[in-house]
Amino acid sequence: MATTAPTARPRANTFSSGPCAKRPGWSLKALADAPLGRSHRAKIGKAKLKLAIDLTREVLQVPAGYRIGIVPASDTGAVEMAMWSMLGARGVDMVSWESFGEGWVTDVVKQLKLTDVRTITAPYGELPNLKKIDTKTRDVVFTWNGTTSGVRVPDASWIADDREGLTICDATSAAFAQRLDWPKLDVVTFSWQKVLGGEAAHGMLILSPRAVERLETYKPSWPLPKIFRMTKGGKLIEGIFEGETINTPSMLCVEDYIDALKWAQKVGGLDGLVKRADANTRVIAKFVKENDWIDFLAVKPKTRSNTSVCLKFTDPAVTALPADAQAAFAKGIVATLEKEGAGLDLGHYRDAPPGLRIWCGATVQARDLKALMPWIAYAFATEKAKLKKAA
């Protein structure tokens, strides 16, 4: 076990799971063309917003019949818009295995107060039994990739092709790094600050023709805030999906998102982005295989995320500690990594089991992850030495 500090450090040491690392080579100069001080409703503003939508469609390979809109309040806002506007027409299955999925369950049960709700859950590190989900007759709300657990659905084969309900998918840490099965999805949401490292506060809402039909034929029994309204007179407000945003967007953030999308094109589009994230995750998988004191939080390899990679400590000296002491141990490692400038924002999510969470999305370089691994070993050895000394 490493007891001497490594000499090499990552060139880029930002491994946060949101906001995530900026693309390689990014600088403020990349945003020089942003139409600052101009209205987003001016010709140039609308053109920029439409370009962001068109590039999203191209890079994510979104089918032509699906609408793409830029909406307020990040991924959370996009999910809330979908749930408050579309749920209640039939029973809904809420699927959760980490904190954000649990949050959507809370909204549906305690805020919307729907009564015909089934919850299909699993603890951190595991995926629920997807066969229990009724995708044939009920609506379904689920996260594609559990950002706080590092557990993702391996595919969408469990979703019925002839479904009557809608599938609402929170894909914020999956889009641009994992392949989404569009024919199986009716609502897809994500935010700019995840896989492409964009700036926060803007969400993306993608609707299938079936989702549009639901919006135009179903009216919830509860009032909808202005920022949730996507129809007028029983018809979809098409302007939302052509760049006429509901509220005022930051044109600086829009420019940053466009820059990230153009970079994505240069590295091979979706294929290139997935390849980069997979290569990054293999660096950590190799490290885990070589060290018996650390492991993936995700139990099954096929469900392991290639973006928000969550790790747990398996050393008996650590697992024997009370929960609060395990959390303190993990925080000690994170503090050492930050103090040494080797890695920033690597702590586990506050509701997740103690450990590390390392972002491996496409904007991260594999060489930086390779440089980070020895530092994790060093930080672990440092904290374990403190345990021995305390004993």
Does the pLDDT at position 1 exceed 80? no
pLDDT at 390: 87
pLDDT at 2: 62
Q: How confident is the model at residue 391 (pLDDT cuts 50, 70, 90)?
A: confident
Average pLDDT over residues 22-49: 97
pLDDT at 285: 98
Structure tokens at 174: 């999956």
Burial class of residue 165, CB neighbours in 10 A (0-12, 13-18, 19+): buried
Backbone angles phi, psi at 368, to 5 degrees: -70, -35
Q: How far is the C-alpha of 45 from the C-alpha of 24, rounded, in Å?
A: 27
Q: Please name the amino acid found at residue 342.
A: A
Q: Provide the pairing of β-strand 356-359 with 308-313.
A: antiparallel
pLDDT tens digits, one per residue of 125-142: 999 999 999 999 999 999
Average pLDDT over residues 251-274: 98
pLDDT tens digits, one per residue of 323-357: 999 999 999 999 999 999 999 999 999 999 999 99
Locus of tokens 């917003």: 49
- The predicted model scores a pTM of 0.97
At what angle are helices 251-266 and 43-60 packed, to 10 degrees?
30
CB 141, CB 102: distance < 8 Å: no
Does the pLDDT at position 3 exceed 80? no
Sorted by where each starts, the structural domains of the chain and their CATH numbers stand as 30-265 (3.40.640.10), 269-390 (3.90.1150.10)
H/E element, 274: helix 269-290
Does the pLDDT at position 151 exceed 70? yes
Burial class of residue 187, CB neighbours in 10 A (0-12, 13-18, 19+): buried
Closest CA to 305 of 82, 76, 78, 143: 143
- Cα-Cα-Cα-Cα dihedral sign, residues 74, 76, 81, 86: positive
Q: CA distances (Å), 356 to each of 145, 148, 253, 315, in order?
A: 17, 10, 29, 14
